[in-house]
């Protein structure tokens, strides 16, 4: 909402700078986003009367005028405008005047006649594009006054962001009301000559037109006034200037006057050419079977049955509260008009305006809620302007139809309750003063310390005591509320498990050299199909996505990690070790499921490279190692196993032979594997790219379950014996370990694979697996003989159960 | 015999010069002291020596043997010393070369800032609760007193996923979810991801992080004054103890009274600059006293309970704090950006 300061000052005068006013308004919820200083684009131009117009002796189309500029003097000027006439009041640029970017005006000799100045057109003054003739000023303009002052062209425009609940502030008067309340000064509302009003509860007719109220739910009140003898012409320049400062354009004196009153009072008005309305009858109804309608901007609009329209008995005339129609537009030939001033329900207007993408100044105001009782006052004001600037005369009374009167709102305000809410004491007198300054009527309630408040008709947002408390706080200033800390002693707040768990997870990944990334949860349907996650559910798709690339909610973190990899490789990175902790989404049996996952990607040089010695490159086993380290850190490693996926159910985006499912208590919770070579090739990946993903939702409960009892370190030494078994190449290592553990005599403490060998001295298709076995007793140092005997027994059993040969 | 022994001794000592090499020493040792060395040979010839002289000769042999062994030991020690000294001199490293690359990751700046903020709230007695991203209309809008025609409920602003569900447009659903489950007194912060239909750009992202916080207790125990106190405390803890804070009246459907909170522009410290449009202030969060209708929606009687709520985005303060001006940096994951953040707790914040 743009508010020219001079216009504002017509309603309220405050002893403060515009900056102070802006600051006060901002803190009170009318945020002044900008102060724009506007100036006339000229100087040295004064109001002057044309005393005489004579013919220029040497040019047919020029006239020689004698003008009186009051104290500035009398001048003789040559003028070429067709509209110059004796007695006219005009704008005289005197010698030395500056018009826009033109050089200073000098006295000139035009066709042999000296001209001591120039009578200016609107275009020369930068007021409009009009250059048909010179600017005509009202006859009462004081001669000699600088035109810039007379027209009030030097001004400051406050650009105010109006909050959604403050429809009342969408007018100069509304803002002035808040200024008056904030500074404790009087508001001077525009004074208009009252017109007679005929009230109707339902349908009705005045002497010259009729109104049928067929939709009181959407339109509880409709007031109208007929005016005759209208002379349609441009409106006065000061009015157009104000409209322009407020971001509107001048059209003609009728339309401009309705817009002017809307800006001033907040009540949108519409003028119909009454001669184009059938049967002089207005019908306020739903669109029903009407299918389309041509609005003022000459656009064909599709109607829906529920749209509220203003019609005559034959056709729609306007989209109520949104825009008028071409078929009843006021034009140059218009002589009789019907002025509409109505209250349309915000939802009704919002629906139509939004559906049509048609936001007008009127619909904006109706949507936010205008003064529920401001209709007739606005008609009186516009009638006065039209009388003065369009020679129009009201015919008959204002007809005011109100089938559904506004409910009376009386709010009980308990002052103790208000203090308890705000944390500051407010006296009854202070509260009353504040609320009255807003236009509320306030009286004492029955109970002590209570007030009964009837909010003003323009504040539809005030419904209950909390709303009034806000008004009192807002007007007193929020800075008046002392900042204090709550007195209550808080009980111990249990730590959030998820947050702690994610912190731990981050710590492990960080230590393993992985950098945390953050990616959008939206991916394409194709990616979601390919990266289907760990098997929970159908994709969750967005009905109104920003683009096809962002159509679905991810089921896996892999696509985001890969996108981050590609992004960095395109910027000359050669390695990336990244992880993300984030939600994935799916539909399972119709229910939406969201789960936290940990995703990790490892690519390129990983660790421990130094000058002259290459480091470790990322691959299946490095990332599996990170996963194992993480699972060990959580204390669940014992319950986890890595398993090659069944050949008939590979993970589509991973290398079928170099990927594993991760099982927790035999339930899949994730995967680790090398990115499928085909996909890697398509993405131009030069190095091995390995991915890992874990369902954290399943790990959270395990990770935080009680830990096994802690044992002291062993007191007696362990003895190591190695063993090399030769088996089929495909035989999985964890089966060997599992078997050995099963046959383990009590003395076997641990068994680990420390080497796998294929090649010379091993038959093709076979491999040698070297194992380290540690024996220990808890109560004594083992003797060599005892260990040898135990080991030999174990070796023999292992050999036969695994069908392996011993490698010597 | 004696002369012979003296001769062996002299020759050996002549050869065992200070400069003798390892091989020379070893050669002497083998020749003289070895199993079939010169001294052994002498001992073998002992039976030709008269009985009376034998002890003296024997003594002499042992004496020479000891003397040579000592000499050899001394020389060898000296050689080892020399080798060590040489190697100390030669085996110098260029200690300015880089060490082996021991991996260490980084924490995303938004996480660091979010964690820092949560730490402050936790230290002030708030607990942390996380709630759903996919929400229904009731928890995201209706219970929060959004009128049915509120623009935020429109398709163009909020992502819909069907079945009456949507991607939450703010973390305020946390208020409803928590209060449905538990009764006051409550002091809770709900961090989480939110979604709005904005293209990823310098200023906005379709997904972003918010923290919603609220405190509810019996009427009068949690006031607007407390809201101011708690938020000022938080903002000064996060932005620095000197930070100027201003409360401006505002409007949100779910609070009444509502306020917008500004802090002094971090760039000009309140003096006014281009970044703050010459106001000296930066809008940082929205807050207010929980609207009676919100309490009613979670079956709390507004005559009995009241509280405050606040909410703010994390990415924007993160940008302010880091002094960068592009939201996309957080979601592109450019290593050259991420690698600038320390990985230790509290590094960026
Ligand atoms: Zn600034």
Tokens (6 digits) for B281 = 């202030």
Q: pLDDT below 70 — which residues of chain A?
A: 488-493, 536, 702-708
B39 and B32 Cβ atoms separated by less than 8 Å: yes
Cα(A282)–Cα(A392) distance, rounded to whole angstroms?
21
Q: How many angstroms separate the alpha carbon of residue A608 from the centre of ligand 1?
A: 46
Residues of B in contact with A423 (CB under 8 A): 223-226, 228
Give yes or no for B160 touching A (CB within 8 A).
yes
A514 and A577 Cβ atoms separated by less than 8 Å: yes
Q: pLDDT value at position B189? A: 96
Q: pLDDT value at position A440? A: 95
Test A29 with B126 for CB contact under 8 angstroms: no
Q: Which of A350, A503, A543 is nearest residue B162 as measured by Cβ atoms?
A: A543
What CA dihedral angle connects A792, A797, A800 and A804, to 10 degrees? -60
pLDDT (tens digit per residue) in B280-307: 999 999 999 999 999 999 999 999 999 9
Concatenated DSSP letters for A150-176? HTT-SEEEEEEE--TT-GGGSSHHHHH
Predicted ipTM?
Answer: 0.84
A:562-581 residues touching chain B, CB 8 A cutoff: 564, 567-568, 571, 573, 576-579
Largest CA distance in chain A: 142
- How many residues are present in chain A? 808
CATH topology of domain B109-338: BirA Bifunctional Protein; domain 2 (3.30.930)
Q: Residues of chain B with pLDDT > 90: what percent?
A: 50
A358 and A295 Cβ atoms separated by less than 8 Å: yes
A:137-166 residues touching chain B, CB 8 A cutoff: 163-166
pLDDT (tens digit per residue) in B231-271: 999 999 999 998 999 999 999 999 999 999 999 988 888 88
Give which of B341, B345, B335 is closest to B322, Cα–Cα.
B341
B110 and B209 Cβ atoms separated by less than 8 Å: yes
Q: Residues of chain B with pLDDT > 70: what percent?
A: 97
Residue B82 distance to chain A (closest CA, Å): 29
Q: pLDDT value at position B346? A: 47
Residues of A in contact with B228 (CB under 8 A): 423, 478, 481-484
Residue B301's φ and ψ, nearest 5 degrees, are -80, 120
Cα(A399)–Cα(A204) distance, rounded to whole angstroms?
8
Test A511 with B193 for CB contact under 8 angstroms: no
Question: How many C-beta atoms surround the C-beta of residue B211 within 10 A?
Answer: 24
Q: pLDDT value at position A112? A: 84
Beta pairing partners, A117: A94
Which candidate in B140, B249, B305 is best for mutational testing of the A interface (most A CBs within 10 A)? B249
Within A543-666, strands assigned E span 552-553, 576-588, 591-603, 605-607, 616-617, 640-643, 654-664
B46 and B60 Cβ atoms separated by less than 8 Å: no
Question: How many C-beta atoms surround the C-beta of residue A749 within 10 A?
Answer: 16
Q: Report the residue of chain B nearest A521, measured CA to CA.
A: B207
B:111-140 residues touching chain A, CB 8 A cutoff: 111, 115, 118, 122, 125-130, 132-134
- List C-alpha distances in Å: A296 to A135, A265, A643: 29, 23, 72
Which candidate in A158, A465, A486, A630 is best for mutational testing of the B interface (most B CBs within 10 A)? A486
Concatenated DSSP letters for A528-542? HHHS-TTS--BPEE-
Residue A659 distance to chain B (closest CA, Å): 24
Confidence of residue B347 (pLDDT cuts 50, 70, 90): very low
Mean pLDDT confidence for B188-212: 94
Tell how far CA B171 is from the center of its chain.
27
Give yes or no for A35 touching B (CB within 8 A).
no
Largest CA distance in chain B: 133
Q: pLDDT value at position A489? A: 52
In the three-class reduction of DSSP (H, G, I as helix; E, B as strand; rest coil), residue A424 is classed as coil
In the three-class reduction of DSSP (H, G, I as helix; E, B as strand; rest coil), residue A345 is classed as coil
pLDDT (tens digit per residue) in A201-218: 877 777 788 999 999 999
What is the DSSP secondary structure assignment for residue A121, as one 8-state letter?
B
Tokens (6 digits) for A43 = 């100087």
Cα(A468)–Cα(B317) distance, rounded to whole angstroms?
33
B:251-270 residues touching chain A, CB 8 A cutoff: 251, 256-260
Higher pLDDT residue, A489 or B50? Answer: B50
Cα(B111)–Cα(B349) distance, rounded to whole angstroms?
10
pLDDT (tens digit per residue) in B27-42: 888 888 888 888 787 7
Tokens (6 digits) for B236 = 């000064």
- How many residues are present in chain B? 349
B:39-68 residues touching chain A, CB 8 A cutoff: none
Residue A547 distance to chain B (closest CA, Å): 9
Beta pairing partners, A223: A341, A400
Residues of A in contact with B207 (CB under 8 A): 520-522
Q: pLDDT value at position A58? A: 83
B210 and B311 Cβ atoms separated by less than 8 Å: yes
Cα(A143)–Cα(A128) distance, rounded to whole angstroms?
23
Residue B111's φ and ψ, nearest 5 degrees, are -60, -45
The β-bridge relationship of strands A766-775 and A748-757 is: antiparallel
Give yes or no for B98 touching A (CB within 8 A).
yes
Test A511 with B105 for CB contact under 8 angstroms: yes
A:395-424 residues touching chain B, CB 8 A cutoff: 417, 420-424
pLDDT (tens digit per residue) in B80-109: 888 888 888 887 888 888 888 888 889 999
Q: Report the residue of chain A nearest B96, measured CA to CA.
A: A611
Q: pLDDT value at position A704? A: 55
């Amino acid at each position: 909402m743009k508010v020219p300061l001079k216009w504002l000052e017509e309603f309220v005068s405050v002893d403060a700078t515009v900056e102070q006013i802006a600051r006060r308004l901002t803190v009170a919820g009318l945020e002044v986003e900008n102060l724009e200083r506007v100036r006339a684009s000229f100087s040295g131009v004064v109001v002057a009367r044309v005393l005489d117009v004579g013919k220029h002796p040497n040019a047919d189309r020029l006239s020689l005028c004698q003008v009186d500029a009051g104290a500035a003097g009398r001048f003789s000027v040559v003028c070429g405008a067709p509209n110059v006439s004796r007695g006219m009041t005009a704008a005289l640029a005197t010698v030395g005047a500056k018009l826009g970017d033109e050089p200073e005006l000098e006295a000139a000799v035009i066709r042999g006649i000296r001209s001591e100045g120039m009578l200016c057109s609107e275009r020369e003054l930068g007021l409009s594009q009009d250059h048909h003739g010179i600017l005509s000023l009202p006859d009462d303009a004081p001669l000699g006054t600088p035109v810039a002052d007379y027209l009030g062209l030097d001004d400051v425009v406050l650009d105010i962001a109006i909050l959604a609940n403050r429809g009342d502030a969408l007018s100069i008067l509304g803002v002035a009301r808040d200024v008056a309340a904030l500074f404790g000064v009087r508001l001077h509302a525009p004074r208009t000559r009252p017109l007679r009003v005929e009230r109707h509860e339902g349908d009705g007719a005045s002497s010259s037109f009729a109104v049928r109220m067929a939709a009181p739910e959407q339109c509880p009140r409709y007031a109208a006034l007929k005016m005759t003898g209208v002379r349609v012409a441009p409106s006065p320049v000061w009015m157009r200037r104000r409209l322009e400062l407020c971001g509107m354009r001048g059209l003609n004196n009728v339309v401009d006057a309705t817009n002017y009153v809307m800006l001033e009072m907040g009540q949108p008005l519409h003028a119909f050419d009454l001669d184009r309305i059938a049967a002089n009858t207005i019908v306020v109804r739903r669109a029903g079977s009407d299918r389309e309608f041509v609005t003022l901007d000459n656009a064909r609009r599709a109607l829906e049955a529920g749209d509220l329209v203003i019609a005559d008995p034959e056709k729609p005339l306007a989209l109520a509260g949104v825009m008028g129609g071409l078929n009843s537009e006021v034009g140059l030939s218009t002589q009789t008009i019907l002025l509409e001033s109505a209250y349309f329900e915000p939802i009704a207007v919002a629906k139509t305006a939004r559906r049509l993408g048609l936001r007008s100044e009127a619909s904006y105001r109706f949507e936010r809620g205008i003064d529920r009782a401001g209709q007739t006052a606005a008609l009186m004001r516009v009638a006065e302007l039209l009388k003065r600037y369009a020679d129009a005369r009201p015919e008959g009374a204002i007809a005011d139809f109100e089938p559904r009167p506004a409910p009376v709102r009386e709010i009980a305000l308990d002052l103790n309750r208000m203090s308890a809410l705000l944390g500051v004491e407010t006296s009854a007198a202070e509260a009353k003063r504040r609320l009255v300054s807003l236009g509320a009527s306030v009286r004492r309630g029955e109970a002590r310390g209570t007030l009964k408040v009837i909010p003003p008709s323009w504040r539809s947002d005030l419904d209950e005591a909390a709303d009034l408390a806000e008004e009192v706080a807002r007007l007193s200033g929020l800075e008046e509320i002392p900042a204090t800390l709550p007195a209550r002693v808080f009980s111990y707040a249990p730590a959030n498990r998820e947050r702690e768990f994610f912190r731990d997870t981050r710590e492990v990944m960080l230590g393993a050299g992985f950098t945390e990334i953050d990616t959008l949860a939206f991916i394409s349907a194709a990616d979601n199909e390919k990266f289907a996650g760990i098997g929970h559910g159908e994709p969750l798709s967005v009905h109104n996505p920003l683009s096809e690339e962002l159509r679905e909610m991810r089921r896996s973190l892999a696509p985001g990690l890969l996108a981050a990899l590609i992004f960095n490789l395109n910027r000359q990175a050669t390695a990336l070790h990244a992880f993300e902790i984030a939600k994935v989404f799916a539909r399972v049996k119709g229910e939406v499921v969201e789960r936290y996952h940990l995703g990790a990607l490892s690519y390129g040089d990983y660790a421990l490279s130094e000058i002259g010695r290459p480091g470790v490159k990322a691959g299946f086993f490095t990332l599996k190692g990170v996963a194992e380290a993480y699972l060990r850190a959580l204390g669940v490693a014992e319950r986890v196993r890595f398993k090659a996926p069944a050949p008939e159910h590979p993970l589509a985006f991973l290398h079928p032979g170099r990927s594993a499912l991760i099982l927790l208590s035999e339930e899949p919770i994730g995967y680790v594997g090398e990115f499928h070579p085909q996909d890697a090739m398509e993405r131009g990946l030069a190095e091995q790219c390995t991915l890992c993903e874990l369902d954290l939702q399943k790990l959270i409960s395990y990770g935080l379950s009680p830990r096994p009892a802690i044992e002291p370190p062993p007191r007696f030494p362990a003895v190591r014996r190695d063993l090399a078994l030769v088996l089929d190449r495909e035989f999985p290592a964890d089966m060997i370990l599992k078997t050995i553990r099963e046959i383990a005599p009590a003395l076997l403490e641990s068994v680990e694979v420390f080497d796998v060998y294929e090649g010379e001295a091993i038959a093709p298709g076979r491999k040698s697996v070297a194992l380290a076995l540690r024996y220990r007793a808890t109560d004594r140092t083992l003797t060599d003989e005892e260990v040898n005997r135990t080991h030999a027994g174990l070796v023999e059993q292992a050999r036969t159960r695994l069908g392996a040969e011993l490698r010597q | 015999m004696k002369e012979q022994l003296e001769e062996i001794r002299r020759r050996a000592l002549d050869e065992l010069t200070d400069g003798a090499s390892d091989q020379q020493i070893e050669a002497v040792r083998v020749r003289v002291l070895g199993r079939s060395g010169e001294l052994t040979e002498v001992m073998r010839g002992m039976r030709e020596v008269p009985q009376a002289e034998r002890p003296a000769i024997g003594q002499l042999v042992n004496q020479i043997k000891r003397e040579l062994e000592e000499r050899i030991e001394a020389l060898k020690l000296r050689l080892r010393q020399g080798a060590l000294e040489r190697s100390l001199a030669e085996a110098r490293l260029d200690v300015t070369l880089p060490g082996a690359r021991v991996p260490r990751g980084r924490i995303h700046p938004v996480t660091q800032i979010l964690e820092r903020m949560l730490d402050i709230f936790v230290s002030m007695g708030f607990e942390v609760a996380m709630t759903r991203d996919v929400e229904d209309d009731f928890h995201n809008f209706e219970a929060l007193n959004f009128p049915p025609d509120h623009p935020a409920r429109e398709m163009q602003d909020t992502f819909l996923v069907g079945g009456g569900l949507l991607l939450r447009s703010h973390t305020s659903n946390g208020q409803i979810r928590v209060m449905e489950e538990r009764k006051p007194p409550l002091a809770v912060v709900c961090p989480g991801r939110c979604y709005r239909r904005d293209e990823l750009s310098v200023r906005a992202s379709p997904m972003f992080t918010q923290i919603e916080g609220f405190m509810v207790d019996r009427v009068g125990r949690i006031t607007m004054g407390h809201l101011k106190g708690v938020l000022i405390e938080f903002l000064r803890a996060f932005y620095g103890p000197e930070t100027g804070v201003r409360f401006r009246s505002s409007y949100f459907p779910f609070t009444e009274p509502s306020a917008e909170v500004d802090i002094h522009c971090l760039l000009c410290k309140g003096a006014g600059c281009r970044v703050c449009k010459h106001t000296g202030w930066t809008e940082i969060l929205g807050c207010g006293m929980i609207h009676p209708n919100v309490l009613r929606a979670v079956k709390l009687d507004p005559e009995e309970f009241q509280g405050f709520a606040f909410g703010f985005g994390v990415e924007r303060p993160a940008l302010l704090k880091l002094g960068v001006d592009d939201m996309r940096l957080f979601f592109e994951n450019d290593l050259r950006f991420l690698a600038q953040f320390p990985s230790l707790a509290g590094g960026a914040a």
